[in-house]
């Protein structure tokens, strides 16, 4: 059966940039755009030329896209101006792009209250703006803002708005669920009605995720007849975000009935890079990946329970709805106090440790894991610490260095400008291959100071850890009272974007942190293949 073409429109660089705490640089936008192009995305919306210096600079030097249609975003012209003389519209339609997506209101309430212009004038503004885009020989699209709310309030007016854009030459009419509150069943019904009323229009869907149904809304619209889906990587976007392309793309390519009915520009081979792209975005934004994200999360294919892990090793289909490798992810068999022998064996095999299932060291390791987790350790989220524990049990981890002592102090004092500041100083005494090393460093808190002191001078291993840095730091108080037990989880990253997690437990938060830090450095040295 011939499959129908479905077009994917990415708005990470525009709508995703509305996310609180996200601030892309020009270099960030360029890197993301090229990665999206390599994935096979059809349209990449780069931003709003003229709206801010970053977007203006980004569009001034078009990224060398090989297949995606570079798209500019803007709004329809203002009342009282022609499209040619609108200072907001001109930079958009004059940008060196292949397509232009203009947002226009399609809800009569918004026209009355927000624009405060006659409703017919809004329709005319939409038509004249689309005509201006077409005249510039750009592919024109209308992002029909608040379309579903507008359609439910006044279907005739909402239809008049999108019909004006269609008649003016818009290639795509994108129906936007702007506040993210429309239910999938309503989206399906409305899109079906729009298709019947405007059969010649090519429709798209732009869903927000305010009810957690952005993906479901997009799929409902697809079933009703849209053939362009808009979304963002990792679901970035204002408020609760947009429809998540990292969930949508695998569903469209791997799941029925979509896989049999539609084809996209993203090949199954390219889809295997979706996890890498998801984590690249998080790295650019300097934030930890969401572990439980569908398809691409670090725990998306993690099987903690002993019965589950045993079953999945015999037949992955029992607890995995797709092959992890199809999306570039991997199966994880964590080890915890709920583990059985199969978890330990699977985890050891995964990290490259070949051992007989009946070897007594397996049982001893499992007993040690359970005892340590009783004390507060958590190895299901600390893969590197578990690997070190397992390899130490087998005598495979060298003693790279010995910590003779460490201390940290916090001083509250006035700086040169008379301001009260807190200064932390860490002191570490090490033995590295027989060489005594004494390091002192300051930091933005006790843990940062100790981390800096520990890595300041590691003797002959210093070069191997030069690209190592702390990516995430989490503290959990396990018991209450003055003798509370504290668990510290540290995520580290190196210059090759390798990530690993380590754990430390103690009644003293600094001691727990230092344990996790030393595990992280030891793991890095071991993975580099260094020998004492």
Confidence at 482, pLDDT banded by 50, 70, 90: low
Q: Collapse the DSSP code of 119 into the 3-class scheme (helix H, G, I; strand E, B; otherwise coil) and give the result.
A: helix
Mean of the pLDDT values across residues 244-260?
98
Handedness of CA 361, 363, 364, 365 (dihedral sign): positive
pLDDT at 317: 74
pLDDT at 87: 93
pLDDT at 369: 82
How far is CA 231 from its chain centroid?
A: 13
Q: What count of Cα atoms within 13 Å lies in the side-chain half-sphere of residue 166?
A: 20
Q: Are strands 469-477 and 486-493 parallel, antiparallel or unpaired?
A: antiparallel
Mean of the pLDDT values across residues 493-500?
89
DSSP 76: P
Condensed to tens digits (0 to 9), the pLDDT of residues 53-89 reads: 999 999 999 999 999 999 999 999 999 999 989 999 9
**Is pLDDT above 60 for 218?**
yes
Is the pTM here over 0.75, yes or no?
no
Confidence at 479, pLDDT banded by 50, 70, 90: confident
Task: Based on DSSP, count helices (H) and strands (E) in the chain, helices before strands.
Answer: 19, 16
Condensed to tens digits (0 to 9), the pLDDT of residues 340-379 reads: 666 677 778 878 888 887 888 888 888 888 888 888 888 8
- Report the C-alpha dihedral over residues 13, 14, 20, 25, rounded to 10 degrees: 50
pLDDT at 371: 86
**Is pLDDT above 70 for 17?**
yes
Question: Percent of the chain beyond pLDDT 70?
Answer: 95
pLDDT at 349: 80
Among 188, 202, 96, 117, smallest CA distance to 151 is for: 188
Condensed to tens digits (0 to 9), the pLDDT of residues 273-327 reads: 999 899 889 888 878 789 899 999 988 988 765 545 556 666 677 788 999 999 9
Mean pLDDT over each residue of the chain, to the nearest integer: 92
Mean of the pLDDT values across residues 491-502?
90
**Is pLDDT above 60 for 435?**
yes
Mean of the pLDDT values across residues 399-414?
93
Q: Are 228 and 11 in contact (CB under 8 A)?
A: no
Q: Collapse the DSSP code of 462 into the 3-class scheme (helix H, G, I; strand E, B; otherwise coil) and give the result.
A: helix
Between 139-143, 495-499, 523-527, the lowest mean confidence (pLDDT) is in: 495-499
Please provide the DSSP assignment of 219-236 as one string: HHHHHHT--EEEEBGGG-
Which residues make Cβ contacts (< 8 Å) with residue 449, sequence separation at least 6?
408, 424, 425, 426, 441, 442, 443
Q: Are 165 and 134 in contact (CB under 8 A)?
A: no
Which residues make Cβ contacts (< 8 Å) with residue 498, sequence separation at least 6?
527
Q: How far apart are CA 218 and CA 375, in angstroms?
A: 46
**Is pLDDT above 60 for 524?**
yes
Q: What count of Cα atoms within 13 Å lies in the side-chain half-sphere of residue 406?
A: 27
Mean of the pLDDT values across residues 432-450?
92
Confidence at 505, pLDDT banded by 50, 70, 90: very high
Confidence at 429, pLDDT banded by 50, 70, 90: very high
Mean of the pLDDT values across residues 173-177?
98
Between 242-246, 347-351, 384-388, 497-501, the lowest mean confidence (pLDDT) is in: 347-351
pLDDT at 111: 98
Q: Are 111 and 101 in contact (CB under 8 A)?
A: no
Strand-by-strand arrangement of the 420-432 sheet? 402-414, 420-432, 435-443
Which residues make Cβ contacts (< 8 Å) with residue 185, sequence separation at least 6?
220
pLDDT at 515: 96
Mean of the pLDDT values across residues 458-484?
85
């Amino acid at each position: 059966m011939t499959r129908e073409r479905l077009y994917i429109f990415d708005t990470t660089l525009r709508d995703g940039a509305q996310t609180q705490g996200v601030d892309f640089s020009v270099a960030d936008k360029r890197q993301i755009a090229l990665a999206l192009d390599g994935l096979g995305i059809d349209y990449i919306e780069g931003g709003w030329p003229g709206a801010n210096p970053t977007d203006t600079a980004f569009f001034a030097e078009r990224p060398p896209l090989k297949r995606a249609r570079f798209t500019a975003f803007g709004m329809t012209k203002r009342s009282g101006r022609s499209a040619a003389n609108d200072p907001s519209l001109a930079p958009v339609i004059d940008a060196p792009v292949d397509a232009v997506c203009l947002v226009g209101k399609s809800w009569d309430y918004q026209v009355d209250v927000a624009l405060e212009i006659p409703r017919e004038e809004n329709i005319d503004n939409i038509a004249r703006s689309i005509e201006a885009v077409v005249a510039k020989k750009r592919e024109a699209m209308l992002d029909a803002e608040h379309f579903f709310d507008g359609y439910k309030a006044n279907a005739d007016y909402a239809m008049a708005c999108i019909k004006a854009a269609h008649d003016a030459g818009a290639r795509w009419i994108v129906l936007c669920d702007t506040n993210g509150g429309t239910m999938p069943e309503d989206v399906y019904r409305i899109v079906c009605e729009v298709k019947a009323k405007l059969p010649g229009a090519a429709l798209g869907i732009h869903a927000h995720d305010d009810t957690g149904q952005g993906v479901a809304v997009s799929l409902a619209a697809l079933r009703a007849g849209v053939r362009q889906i808009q979304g963002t990587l990792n679901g970035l976007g204002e408020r609760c975000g947009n429809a998540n392309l990292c969930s949508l793309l695998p569903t469209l390519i791997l799941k029925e009935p979509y896989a049999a009915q539609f084809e996209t520009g993203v090949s199954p081979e390219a889809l295997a890079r979706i996890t890498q792209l998801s984590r690249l975005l998080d790295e650019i934004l300097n934030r930890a990946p969401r572990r439980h994200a569908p398809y691409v999360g670090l725990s998306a294919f993690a099987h903690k329970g002993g019965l589950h892990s045993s079953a999945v090793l015999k037949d992955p289909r029992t607890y995995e709805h797709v092959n992890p490798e199809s999306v570039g992810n991997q199966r994880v068999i964590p080890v915890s106090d709920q583990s059985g022998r199969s978890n330990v064996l699977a985890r050891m095999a995964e990290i490259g440790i070949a051992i007989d299932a009946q070897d007594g060291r397996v049982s001893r390791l499992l007993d040690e894991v359970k005892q340590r987790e009783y004390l507060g350790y958590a190895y299901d989220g600390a893969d590197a610490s578990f690997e070190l524990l397992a390899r130490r049990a087998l005598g495979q981890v060298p003693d790279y260095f010995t910590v003779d002592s460490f201390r940290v102090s916090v001083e509250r004092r006035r700086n040169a400008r008379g301001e009260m500041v807190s200064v932390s100083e860490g002191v570490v005494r090490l033995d590295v291959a027989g060489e005594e090393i004494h390091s002192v460093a300051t930091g933005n808190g006790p843990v940062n100071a100790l981390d800096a002191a520990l890595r300041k001078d590691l003797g002959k291993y210093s070069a191997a850890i030069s690209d190592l840095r702390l990516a995430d730091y989490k503290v959990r108080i396990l018991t209450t009272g003055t003798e509370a037990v504290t668990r510290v989880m540290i995520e580290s990253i190196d210059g090759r974007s390798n990530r690993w997690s380590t754990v430390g437990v103690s009644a003293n938060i600094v001691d727990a942190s230092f344990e996790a830090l030393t595990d992280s450095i030891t793991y890095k040295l071991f993975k580099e293949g260094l020998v004492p």
